[in-house]
Structure 1
Amino acid sequence: MAPKSSVIMSVPVELYYEVFLTNLSVVNVCLNLMQLNIYIYSV
């Protein structure tokens, strides 16, 4: 059994970067939808 840290290090950094970017874009979409809802309700 290899320690978990070595398994984590064997995962390519690009994969983490892709997941990080997709999470950021999802958060941005959610924030934009929230702002749109606030704008609609305030009108």
Structure 2
Amino acid sequence: FIADDSKLHKIGQKINIANATQALDVTRILVEASKQLER
């Protein structure tokens, strides 16, 4: 098995995008939670 650098790079990009969107979701949830607490 010879690792194809371009394929690995694409997979890495997908993982990075998934992690970034997950982080944004967590941030959004925290912001909503803090708004609920302020009421």
| TM-score normalised by length of structure 2 | 0.78
RMSD over equivalenced CA pairs, Å: 1.0
- Unaligned residue ranges in structure 2 (runs of 5+): none
Larger radius of gyration: 1
Which residue is equivalent to 1:37?
30
Q: CA deviation at 1:12?
A: 2.3
CA distance in 1, matches of 2:27, 2:5: 34
Same amino acid, percent of matched pairs: 9
Aligned length: 33
Runs (4 or more) in structure 1 with deviation over 6 Å come to none
- Unaligned residue ranges in structure 1 (runs of 5+): 1-10
| TM-score normalised by length of structure 1 | 0.71
